[in-house]
Amino acid sequence: MVSDEVGSRRKDMPDYPDHSPNSALTPAPSPGGSRRSLPRRRFWREPCPFRTPQCVRVPAALVLLLAAALAGCGREQSQAQQGPPPAPKVSIAKPIRKMVTDSDAYVGRFLAVDAVEVRARVSGYLDAIKFRDGQTVEKGDLLFTIDRRPFEASLDQARANLAQAKANLAFAESDLTRGENLVRGSVITQQTLDQRTQAKRVAEAAVAAQSAAVRQASLDLEFTELRAPISGHIGDRRISPGNLVMGGTTGSTTLLATIVSTDPIRFEFTLDEASYLRHLRNAKRFAGAEGRSSAVPVRLKLLDEETFTHEGRVDFMDNAIERSSGTIRARAELANPDGTFTPGMFARVEVPSGPPSEALLVPDAAIGTEQVRKFVLVVDDEDVARVKYVTLGTVIDGLRVVQSGLNADDRVIVNGVMRVRPGAKVSPQVVASTASAVTSR
């Protein structure tokens, strides 16, 4: 039988030691002892004489490895047939030469040239309000009125007292004149004459006092109309008609409104000591009879603006550096005809720090960053992209000033920077080096 033959052949086969890493060493049988069969794992190091499922075993990992190798060979053959990929297309341009001025930028705040708190000079009940909240007023415009009737009565009373004092003065003058015409010593005594002279002087003083009272009453009546002391932008009313307004010159007066001037307007910022020395030397080119900081031009931009478009001039530099912060206060003045600038608004100011000089400019989007270093990609004569590390300056009209690291004849990649690797071949196309020429990286 076949099964018996197979069984006999298995019995005749030699026992191989188990070389599996999971098996323990099998001790040798003792002399004379019976040999016991132990379960063993075997590695078939020789061809198996039997074509049975237990003998033919192919690991699944090996099958996957062979399949991946065959697929890789297929891809390599297809790529070899297609050839290398084409060079990426990029736009190149030469840097622009332009006269620029080195400058520093600072953050500051707008201040009003004039700011006034409108308060009443006399006490009384508020009668009417003659403006709209937030409107622009001119100097002399009527803002508030206080009830005039009590002050008109006081003025009439002061005028009456003045008329009485003038009448007393006239009587004293005539009485003194009659005494002086009489014969001294026989008709009138010297004492009587002195008394009439004194009465005249008292009457004159009373007239002067009543005249002052009339002027004060006239002022109080005039102060019932509160007019704008300056031209500017007025805030909202702080009190409604019918309320009692406390006036005078003390701190308990009632605040009615506030007015700030808007044209021109000032911009205040601070400089550190090193920047102050640099700007002080540069200011000598602009200094005139007004002083060391006069006529230094500056440019500003608001928080939502990209470029410095608003122009002004430095009109004040403080006379001492603060010990606590090591900074000095500076101030510029700007025209504000349309009222865009508002006191309290933040902005950035650009102050020149040196004379004009020729510089190279490239689009700001062409600048790359490698950790803390800045670079641009340039194309050499063989159309290969190369890296050049540069030192940057300020932005002028969307173009970045390159202080060092770039030559005027370099062909800078301005479009397609993200598609290029240093040392790779590119297909360059020449475009104009402007900020609008950069559409993608």
pLDDT truncated to tens, each residue of the chain (441 aa)? Answer: 444 444 444 444 445 444 444 444 444 444 444 444 445 544 444 455 444 445 445 566 565 666 655 555 555 555 555 656 788 888 888 888 888 877 788 999 999 999 999 999 999 999 999 999 989 999 999 999 999 999 999 999 999 999 999 999 999 988 888 887 776 656 777 788 888 889 899 999 999 999 999 999 999 999 999 999 999 999 999 999 999 999 887 778 899 999 999 889 999 999 888 888 888 877 776 655 444 555 788 899 998 888 888 999 988 888 888 888 889 999 999 999 888 899 999 999 988 877 777 888 888 888 888 888 899 899 988 888 889 999 888 777 778 888 888 888 888 988 888 888 888 888 888 887 555 444 434
Closest by CA position to 118, among listed 224, 229, 239, 225: 229
> Using an 8 Å Cβ cutoff, are 292 and 330 in contact?
no
Cα(380)–Cα(386) distance, integer angstroms: 7
**What CATH code would you report for 90-99+357-437?**
2.40.420.20
Whole-angstrom distance, CA of residue 360 vs CA of residue 388 = 14
The token duo for 9 is 């052949």
pLDDT for 24: 43
Helix, strand, coil shares, percent, the chain, to 5: 25, 35, 40
Sign of CA dihedral 165, 168, 174, 175: negative
What three-state secondary structure class fits 269? strand
User: CA 41, CA 24: separation in Å to the nearest integer?
Assistant: 10
CA distances from 409 to 91, 96, 97, 252, 393 (A): 15, 10, 11, 73, 19
Beta-strand pair 142-146/327-334: unpaired
Burial 385-401 (b: 16+ CB within 10 A, else e): bbeeebebbbbbebbbb
Return the SS3 of 288: strand
pTM score: 0.59
- Whole-angstrom Cα distance, residue 26 to residue 404? 79
Continuous segment of H or E residues that includes residue 358: strand 346-363
Alpha carbons 298 and 384: distance in angstroms, whole number: 43
Q: For residue 9, what pLDDT is reported?
A: 46
Per-position b or e across 164-186, b if 16+ CB within 10 A of its CB: ebeebbeebeebbeebeeeeeee
Which of 1.10.287.130, 3.10.20.30, 2.40.30.170, 2.60.40.10 is the CATH number of 103-113+262-356?
A: 2.40.30.170
**What is the token pair recorded at 412?**
């800078």
Phi/psi at 67 (nearest 5 deg)?
Answer: -65, -40
Domain ranges (residues) in the chain? 90-99+357-437, 103-113+262-356, 119-259
Neighbours of 159 (CB within 10 A): 16
CA–CA gap between residue 6 and residue 48 (Å, rounded): 13
Q: Is the dihedral of CA 431, 432, 436, 441 positive or negative?
A: positive
- Taking the C-alpha atoms of residue 268 and residue 111, their distance in angstroms, rounded to an integer, is 7
Q: Are 433 and 414 in contact (CB under 8 A)?
A: yes
Which residue from 401, 391, 389, 288 is spatially nearest to 350, judged by alpha carbons? Answer: 401
Distance CA 59, CA 165 (A): 133
Angle, CA of 350, 353 and 359, to the nearest 5°: 90
Cα 332 to chain centroid distance, Å, stands at: 17
Q: How far apart are CA 49 and CA 360, in angstroms?
A: 84
Q: Is 90-99+357-437's fold the same as 103-113+262-356's?
A: no
Which CATH class for the 119-259 domain? mainly beta
pLDDT of residue 21: 46
Plot region of 40 (φ>0 → left; ψ -120 to 50 → alpha; else → beta): beta
**Cα separations (Å) of 205 from 208, 212, 214, 261, 288?**
5, 11, 14, 45, 56
